[in-house]
Amino acid sequence: MKVINAPKNTPMSLKHGKWIPDKINEPTKLFSCSECKGLIQLGNYAYKCYYNYCPTCGAKMDGDETK
């Protein structure tokens, strides 16, 4: 099977973002992606989001670094 016209994942096309804690609904531990505003809900024990990538848009969560 040959893949035709597959998108190329180059370093310039990779999105970089960071997790932003939701201050309004703090007891639910919601975090939003700085790139796509997608929400992640964690358990009550978590005070920091440790996901390395956003499951919605695929942005690498490294604090808006551009390399």
Residue 61 class from Cβ within 10 Å (0-12 exposed, 13-18 middle, 19+ buried)? buried
State yes or no: pLDDT of 60 exceeds 70: yes
- Which two structure tokens, joined as six digits, stand for 14? 């990779």
- Nearest one of 9, 11, 55, 7 to 35, comparing CA atoms: 55
Is the pLDDT higher at 46 or at 37? Answer: 37
Q: Is the pLDDT of residue 67 over 70?
A: no
